[in-house]
Each structure stands twice: as structure tokens, then as C-alpha cells.
Chains A and B, each alone.
Chain A
């Protein structure tokens, strides 16, 4: 009789241990992400209330000088035009909201229109030493003159049953990098964060003690 009880108790213990392990395992995954993202915030220093939000935080890249070298392997989908965030956002420190201006006042951030690009690239064609215009920019100019849009490959897509108010997060003074990763260091954009995993959202909402009411995003 005693032995039987012992056995059962043992099994129970084992089971619960496994469960706990599972939990801690998941936690283990969550932790680094959280930490990274905290640093990014503090790295920005105090943020000006409205305007400052959404500016790229500039870690490591110096303005001017030669363009940052390309890594051997590029992550992320190939784009019709090889637009380099590491140059625009990183080296030249162009604020994210300069191009993605809707992020501040709409639920959805926008892909900048070609006219926005041309604002600068009417003037600069980033010529090489020989003075030939940069082929990528030529592509841009061609499609602009043709009045054709550019078919960018999509990087981030939230499932349709989740609604994400960009403007709220910008207004809250969050850095774009919080969710989009260190864009200013990406020659080609890749999904630094799986925005489709609800855990990503909730962990952040938990840390900041903001609402986790389901119908804030799901309706």
C-alpha cells in the first residue's frame, strides 16, 4: 500500500516538474527579447513628446563618410529597388516619420509615395566615382516618370483579426525599433520580430502595465 502511494506521488512530482520546466523554458525565450527592447528605449534618452517619437535611434553608424559596407549575407525579402535603410535612416539620420508619416496619425504606417522619394532624388542620384547615377535610383526615377508604382515585397503583416493603432504607439513615445528592429542598421529590411506572435505584444504590454484587454486589438 505505502509503496503504491509513493509511486503515485513520484509520478505527480515528475509531472509538475516537467510543467514548470516548460514554463521557465518559455519565459527563457521571452526574456532576451524584452531586455533588448528595454535597452533600445533607454538608448534613446529622454524623448521629446510628439516630434521626437519615431525617430531612429542611432547606434554605431557615423553620418557622412563612405556608406556602411554590406554584410556577406542579406536577410529579408528581395525588393524591386534595393533601398538601404542603413544609409537613409542610419547614416543620414532621416527620421522614420519623414517618410512613414502616417504612422503618427493613422492606424497604419504608410509606404512612402514615390513623390516623397523624389523629393530628394530629383536632386541627388548618388553617383559613383565615375559619376554614373546609382542604378537603383535610376529605377526609381524611371517608374516615377512612367507614373508606375513600385511593388515592394511585404515584410510585416499582422493577421487581419488584430488591429494595431500605430499612432497610439508613436504617441506613447515608442521607438519604431521596438517592433521593427534596428532598421537603421539593415541594408535590406527583414522581420526582426515576429509581430504575428501575440506573446510579443503582450509581454511588452505587461512590462509597461498598459491594457491587455482583448478587444483593444481584436474586433
Chain B
């Protein structure tokens, strides 16, 4: 099935229509001239590739129908993603079909922007390069993203051909402190491989490893493995950071030290470990370590960090008692001037706890290790400003946006003779360039990445390019040729580079597989002898110390802002604050009260380096002396969705605020907050942050869970008499209901959601958007609660949020497919009805739009088409060309005035059933996976036939933690939630 051939899509578009699929209506049918052998109209074809939305490099399968990519899913064979994918990966499709993509090569002239032919552009570039090379060494600069493998080597070679070494592998989040710390502590300047799965105790010093840190999908999967409740056991997770984000939501305990003191706390923990004689150290090393750590008495640390010494000792005890344990640090949000020391301290803590080599492993060669540092970027800026660069080429990076404005990239860049952008959008950097040579998006590209040691992950085009674009490497090769240089043995294209050294058959086979996934060879490391010279000094902060410290954190959905033009990601509520489409500043309730601020009040945030305006979001997840802002919004250029939306907190940062590793200190300044008097409505999906004992999202302590005890919901108020009465009524009702078609042996599709695995990452939401043609409604409609996401992540605060001792309950809420559904009897036209296989069917073309069903749905999972999102030409049309190419032909695009909802991806159910019937085979348990189930990195969902006693869902339903939301309504939901388990102190 998963064959790949480079497609000749002659009339493929037509073929889509010839197949009569619902991607559009026409009165003309265009058959193929010669049918490509791997396309059967109406049957999807999958191509294995690699996700390029962040440096993690997850393996993906691109689902194509009639030669168009319509869905991206994880590649089960891939070691990083193991078949799962995050929201950003799911949204890569919108990058492919973004209507704002540059549709051909352009040139900036005095007259403004004008189209140019590829040949002309290449000639111009070649000429300029030749001149630059002739005029001296290092006159050419090439900025790329986190590239690795064949192409990466090619770029260097190419650059050398023009006598230059000015290469910048630029990533906004390059983990310099972590790499530097590894060098300082172990002599290996590398990002270690963390094994969350086997850790029994997790300590995170501000690493948001469930959101953006290094490899979120992999870590989410492993974290769920470790922290999910299974056979009476689970790992304990303690988060140590001044701001509580999604990652810390999943922590069993949250400790909020003063910003900048995480490292000190880590050292104190290590010291305490040693003092308690729990250190896994021997001989001279032990003495040296003891000597070094002796300086960090709990007393002084307690004062500095604001964390009680008792707590420190307890954590140290727990951390070493559980074996193996794992401490991670070095998240971007808390990357301050002492970031490297923090990372060293965390390494040290792992070392004394004996985790290094077990849960912290060093491997040879990892793409991240080769990334340029922030200081390299600033060095390039200086060079450009000094007129040392004649030609600058930027590819797969947007430094004009992701470098702090104070770094003065734009001004320096303008001084360069010829500026070339290999960009997909007119983003901040491309807008400054003279030549814009649009690059393929990753789904149209060739590549072979070596993101993780041992793996060679291939990138291959899933379809012919949407626009007149060319892959950068191809262009560079052509330029070299034009300039008469021979690069990479005359390789003409990225494909050649990728295919090099592989026989056609082998290449074919590898591409089908998605890459070559060998074992990574380990590298044993020891503490360098002179680590003791490392002194700990608390980080400095700019600005007036009276004001709160500004924490700037990467957005889980927009990453460093590259996702800002994707409607799906803009509309995806922030995983922590649940705000979409906007920028905001998080302020602690007490601080807000002191300043007389309420949620929605617009404030001016001023630092010594600049000032921005943003609405306040009163949020208990930050310390009183901390405010936080997400990176990602505030684009001055870029596409229609991103442009002029929100603010960029990087404008508040000083350019020279770096740490020992030369990394930008994202957490480096105090800010002043002033009321503007204006106020806006935040586009938040949150109705109430408290569930008020309604038992929507439930949790139970580990001890109780071991006893099989569970948290009771409001149904506990029902007396036993009532309970039996209800049961009897339900039984008789069922007897009466199951007649005719309904009496035949039918499957009953059900789902379980394990809340002890679900991290709230919201990948399921975007997957649902992609699979079910859900329209993006925009900011104004989101403010009015009119978002259409069929599945949503509800986030409730539990406990007293004035301190740090409170819990977060998260629950994915989607149609519960009730057996006794309140929505069904009220529909006057049977648009909402019960299917024989136990779903709440929703027949869009029968719906007249009384909305009675939505009123009567206690779970509020029905969504109404207020506007005409599906009709071309309507002001609210949500799929403007070519976004409509992505529409799933198996799912009806809903028109205005009809109700829609989740039906467990019924198109997938029917597809599998038809396939099984035609092939005369039985359906296999697990064969059918709804989009949300398929993508869930935490594997929290189980879907299947509840009538089959051996199915996974039947077994997982039987779990003692299982409960139905609002059980007392007797709607008999088809979704069983398994209570979250919280492992408290000592447990």
C-alpha cells in the first residue's frame, strides 16, 4: 500500500473529480492519459517522510488522495514519533496549502516587487556570488535552519566553493546551555538522550518537554509510559519552575523557586543527596563532589530560592530512592544569564543520583549539537553591519523576527549587497531581501536527516509542488553550475544527494520504510576533573528590580512564530491559558489585584530595551514576582493570518543578554506594567476554570488508586433505590429500543480515555481539524465561543490556587456517543439519531438547524454552522484556494445552518467495514482508529468494539478508575474516562 513513486500527476486534479469525490463539483471529467500505478481514485496512498516543523524530526506518513496530500500521521516504524504526531506536525499540511505562499520567484527593485524567471534569478545570483568570491574569502553568508545529513553537508561544500565558511545553522531554540553544560561537566558538547520511559522519578527544572523542548512527541510518549498509572504503579513528577505551563500541569507537585534560582536549587538537591549519603559516587570523585557541593548549605539556598529546606531534603530523598530517576533542565522559558550553570547543576544532580548512563545517555552525533549559537548569529550581524558580507542567503529561518529587535539584524542585513530569501512566505526576513526564490515546503521536498544518532530519516515529496517553487538545494546546485563550480560531484538536485550511495531498489525500500533506523551507539562519560572550578553566581536581571521578572516562553502551538500563519494553530487554544489568536501577559491574581488589573485589561509592558502592549490574563500559574508572555505572535510581515496579530515579547529583550554558552537569555529582565485603560475580550475557550465538584475531570491519589478507590462525582448524591430504578428503566428501554436492524449483531463503537496518560498537548484537536474538514472561524468568532473544534481540551484548576499546592485536571471532551442520548429524541427530523452500531449519527443534509439537540446535550459537544464556512465566495469561506485541496473527500463540507459533531471518524469506520466486506475478511480490533486516537502522543485513547469482550476497549473499560461524566443523567455515554492518578509526597 505504502508505495512511493514520484508522481506524474497529469490531470491529477481532474482525476480527483473523475473519481467523483467531494473535493469539488464540475461538469467535466478528465481521465489520466496514462494512469500512475500507485493511484486508485477513491483509495488513499501513503508516503513515508519526515516532519520538519521543529528540529525533532518525527517520522510521518502523508496520506494522499488523487495525488493530493490530505492528512499527515506519524510513522509507526520511526524511532522518534512511533506513529504519533503533535499539533504542529498535523498542521504542516496548512503550510503546504497556505494561500499566502510565494507562488514564484520575485525580485525587489526600486519599483517594488516584481516577478522574475528562475533562470534570470539564478543567473543574477551566480554572477553576484562569483564577484563576491573573487573579492575575497568569507564574503558569502548562508543561513539555514536545523539541517542535517546529506543536504547539510552539501550546503557547506557549496559555500566552500565560493570561498566562504559563513554558515549559520540557525534555530531560535538551540539548547546552547545544555550543550555547553555537557561539555563543562562531561567534556561532550552534546544534547544528551533522555530516557523518560524508564524513569521512576522525574524532576524538571523548567524544561517544557511536553510542549517544545527538544523532542516533545517522543518525550510525551515516554512520559505517559512512565507517569501513566499501570498495575498499581507510576513515576512521580515534580516540576520546579516559576511559571506553571502544560508540562508542569502534569506534575504531581509544583515548586516555584525565585526566577533564576533553579540551578541553585538543583545544586542544593545534589548537596542534600550527598549529605544524606545517597550519592552514587565512589573514591576520589566522591570527595571532590562532596567538597564542591559543600558550599551549598540548604539554609542559604532556602533563603535564595524561597524553597523550604525540608522540601529540598525530601525531594533529594525521593529522587534517589526511586531508581532510576531523571532530572531535566534548560528549558527556553527559564533560560537566564545563569542558564548554563543551571544545566550543569542538573547534570551534576543526575550524576550523583547515578542516572548518567541510565536515563541520561550521551550519543555520537545529533543534529542539535551542530546548531549555531545565538552568539554566532550576533557575530554574523556584526560582520554584515561591518560590510564584510556581499551576498547573504537565508533559507528555512526568519532571524529578522526571531532575533530580539535590539540585535539590529534588519539594519545590518540591509547593508548586504545581495540578499536572497529561500522562503515560502514574505516573512520579516524575506521582506528585506532582493531576491525571493520560494522553497518547496517539507511535504514537497527531498532530504535525508540525521536528527538522532543512528537514524537516517528520509524526506520525500508526497505530491507535485503546489506552486512554481524549487527546493533550495536544487537552486544552489544550479547556481554553482552557472558559476562554473563543481559541488558534491556535480549532484544536480536534492534527490541525487539523498539517493547517493543507494541502489534504486534500496532507495525505494528505504523510502517506503521512511528511513534507516539503526541503534545509536552509546558513549560513556565521566565527570571532568575540573568541574569544581565552575562557580555558581545568580543571574543578573535588567531593569528596575521593583517590577516583576518577565518570562518569555515558546508557544506550544506557534513554536517560535513559524506556525503563526496556520489557521489551525492560531485557533488551537494555548495549552495552558486556553487563549487563541492573541498575545497576552500572564499575571498572578494577587499582583493583578495590587495593580488593579483584570483579565482583558490592556497594559503597557516596559523593559529597558523596549515596550509592548498586551491584554492581561490573570493566571495562578505564575509566581507573584513573575509575569509571562508567549513567543509566536507579533509578526509585522508574513501571511494574512499572522500579520499584525498580537505582539512579540522578544522586543523586550536585550541583545547582549547572554549566558556562558552564548545563548540568548530569554528570561533576563524586569518589566514595568502600566494600565492603558483600554480593555479587550480575550479569545478564550474557557467558560469556568473550576469544575465545582461536578466530577467532569476526576483524579485520585496513588494510594487510593492502589486500593481501587476512586473519586466520586455528583452521582454519589443518587440513592441506591434511585440507582436500581434507573438501571431497570434503562434495561427495559434497551429491550424496547433494540428491534429490527438494531437487533442484529452489530458492533458498538466505544472509547476510553486514560486521564493519567493524557497530558493535554491538544494534538488531537488539530488532527480532528485535518481529518474532518473543520473550518477555522477566526478571532472574533472564537471570542463569541463559536469555535468548531469537535474535540476540546478542558482544563480545570483544583484546590487553592493562591499558593503552589493545586492540581490541574485536563480532559478531552468530545461527543460521548451516548446510548441513551438526550440529543436524539428532540430532533424533529431525525438528523440526529442512533445508528445500529451505537453512534449518535448526525446527518448534515437532513439537519434543519433547530439547535434543540445542542441545547439538550449535557456535554456541549455539538457545534453549529453559524456562517457559511463551506461555500466558495462567501465572506466566511474558510478554505480559500488552495486550502480547499486539503479537504478530506470522505467527509462532507458542512454548509451554513446545520449542526455538526464528532462521530468517531465514521468515514474511517465505514471505509474499513467496506474494505473488509469486499475482501471477505473480519475487522481486526485496533484496525479502525479515529484521527484523535491515531495521533495521541501519549496513547491515552483506546477505541474499538465494546461488544467484543476481548477488544482492548472492553478490557480498558473494566478498569476500576473508569467513570462516565455526568453519569447521574443516565445518558449512558460511550466514552469511559479513567481517572487521573496523582502520586503525592512520599507515595
Contacts and interface: CB of A to CB of B under 8 A. Distances in A.
Interface of A: 102, 105-116, 143-144, 147-154, 156-163, 165-168, 171, 211-216, 218-219
B22 interface: yes
The listed residue with most B CB atoms (<10 A of its CB), out of A106, A161, A214, A215, is: A215
B464 to A, nearest CB: 16
A168 B917 contact: yes
Interface in B31-70: 31-35, 40-43
Given A111-B18, A216-B910, A219-B906, A150 B31 contact: yes
Nearest to A217: B910
A150 B30 contact: yes
A131 B625 CA distance: 95
A149 B10 contact: yes
B844 interface: yes
Nearest to B740: A212
A214 B917 contact: no
A11 B474 CA distance: 83
A154 B483 CA distance: 52
Nearest to A99: B31
B845 interface: yes
A171 B917 contact: yes
A158 B889 CA distance: 13
A106 B919 CA distance: 12
B465 to A, nearest CB: 20
A113 B32 CA distance: 5
15 contacts: A102-B41, A109-B20, A114-B31, A115-B34, A149-B10, A151-B29, A154-B26, A163-B890, A167-B914, A211-B836, A213-B741, A213-B841, A214-B830, A215-B839, A215-B841
A110 B907 CA distance: 21
B31 A113 contact: yes
B836 A149 contact: no
A110 B31 contact: yes
Contacts of B26: 154
A108 B31 CA distance: 13
A144 B610 CA distance: 65
Given A106-B40, A149-B31, 17 more contacts: A102-B19, A108-B20, A108-B21, A110-B18, A115-B34, A149-B33, A151-B29, A152-B28, A153-B27, A153-B29, A165-B910, A168-B917, A171-B918, A212-B741, A213-B741, A214-B846, A218-B843
A102 B10 CA distance: 18
B253 to A, nearest CB: 45
Given A108-B19, A152-B28, A154-B26, A160 B892 contact: yes
B704 to A, nearest CB: 41
Contacts of B570: none
B42 A106 contact: yes
Nearest to A80: B28
A219 B908 CA distance: 10
A129 to B, nearest CB: 31
B302 to A, nearest CB: 61
B910 A163 contact: yes
Contact of B42 (A107, A113, A160): A107
Nearest to B911: A107
B903 A161 contact: no
Nearest to A160: B22
B41 A157 contact: no
A149 B918 contact: no
Nearest to A77: B27
Contacts of B42: 102, 106-108, 166
Contact of A158 (B20, B836, B846, B918): B20
The listed residue with most B CB atoms (<10 A of its CB), out of A107, A109, A143, is: A107
Nearest to B905: A219
A190 B830 CA distance: 34
A167 B42 CA distance: 11
Contacts of B741: 211-213
Interface of B: 10-11, 14, 18-22, 25-35, 40-43, 741, 830, 833, 835-836, 839, 841, 843-846, 890-893, 903, 906-907, 910, 914, 917-918
Contacts of A106: 19, 40-43
A110 B36 CA distance: 13
B18 A115 contact: no
A116 to B, nearest CB: 8
Contacts of B41: 102, 106, 108, 110
A162 B41 CA distance: 17
B29 A213 contact: no
Contact of A105 (B22, B27, B43): B43
B914 A165 contact: yes
Nearest to B893: A160
- Closest 6 pairs between A and B when the two form their complex, measured CB to CB: A160-B22, A106-B42, A108-B42, A108-B19, A111-B31, A113-B32
Contacts of B893: 160
A107 to B, nearest CB: 4
A147 B33 contact: yes
Contacts of A215: 835, 839, 841, 843, 903, 906, 910
A20 B970 CA distance: 41
A111 B21 contact: no
Contacts of A216: 910
A148 B27 CA distance: 18
B833 A214 contact: yes
Contact of A219 (B25, B29, B910): B910
B32 A114 contact: yes
The listed residue with most A CB atoms (<10 A of its CB), out of B34, B41, B839, B918, is: B918
Contacts of B11: 149
Contacts of A114: 31-34
A218 B14 CA distance: 24
Contacts of B906: 215, 219
Contacts of A159: 845
A195 to B, nearest CB: 10
Contacts of A160: 22, 25, 892-893
The listed residue with most A CB atoms (<10 A of its CB), out of B31, B741, B836, B890, is: B31
Contacts of A154: 26-29
Contacts of A144: 33
B886 to A, nearest CB: 16
A161 B773 CA distance: 13
Contacts of A211: 741, 836
A92 to B, nearest CB: 20
A149 B17 CA distance: 13
Contacts of A168: 914, 917-918
Nearest to A106: B42
Contacts of A148: 33
B914 A161 contact: no
B892 A111 contact: no
Nearest to B894: A161
A212 B741 CA distance: 9
A107 B914 contact: yes
A74 B899 CA distance: 44
B20 A157 contact: yes
The listed residue with most A CB atoms (<10 A of its CB), out of B33, B35, B891, is: B33
Nearest to A218: B843
A105 B28 contact: no
Contacts of A149: 10-11, 14, 30-33
A213 B892 CA distance: 17
Contacts of B833: 214
Contacts of B914: 107, 165, 167-168
Given A106-B43, A160-B25, A171-B918, A219 B892 contact: yes
A214 B836 CA distance: 10
A111 B14 CA distance: 11
B7 to A, nearest CB: 14
B893 to A, nearest CB: 7
